[in-house]
Amino acid sequence: EDQVTQSPEALRLQEGESSSLNCSYTVSGLRGLFWYRQDPGKGPEFLFTLYSAGEEKEKERLKATLTKKESFLHITAPKPEDSATYLCAVQASGGSYIPTFGRGTSLIVHP
């Protein structure tokens, strides 16, 4: 069974304090790994898709990286508006194309 574990469950940072969120996964074969941002009561907003180990993608203060067992979402010099829950989802090769979502990391950035 595919598994996705995100850590930490919650993270509090001061504005400007860089950190990383972790998404570790267990799948028979990786087709794609997705990162989403979700604000309270809103729908998940797509951030990145990563397909193979070694791949990196960046968007503003966010950078996603991928290895064979985990992905990191690095947040550089965060601002209060980066506060949200960050969700990771993994799509396995073969079988159903439905991604498995992690429980998310709740990030709060204090001014």
Partner 1 sequence: DSGVTQTPKHLITATGQRVTLRCSPRSGDLSVYWYQQSLDQGLQFLIQYYNGEERAKGNILERFSAQQFPDLHSELNLSSLELGDSALYFCASSVGQGSADTQYFGPGTRLTVL
Q: Is 1 in the site for partner 1 (CB under 8 A)?
A: no
Tokens describing residue 43: 């729908």
Please tell me the distance from the alpha carbon of residue 58 to that of residue 93, in angstroms, as a whole number.
Answer: 25
Sole window of 21-29, 38-46, 58-66, 72-80 interacting with partner 1 (rule: CB under 8 A): 38-46
Q: Which of 39, 23, 37 is nearest to 100 (CA)?
A: 23
Sole window of 8-16, 46-54, 62-70, 74-82 interacting with partner 1 (rule: CB under 8 A): 46-54
Among 7, 76, 99, 106, binds partner 1 (CB under 8 A): 99
From the CB of residue 18, how many other CB atoms can be counted at a distance below 10 Å?
11
Q: Is 34 in the site for partner 1 (CB under 8 A)?
A: yes
Q: Which of 23, 19, 1, 38 is nearest to 109 (CA)?
A: 19
Query: Which residues contribute to the site for partner 1 (CB under 8 A)?
Result: 31-32, 34, 36, 41-46, 49, 51, 87, 91, 96-99, 101-104
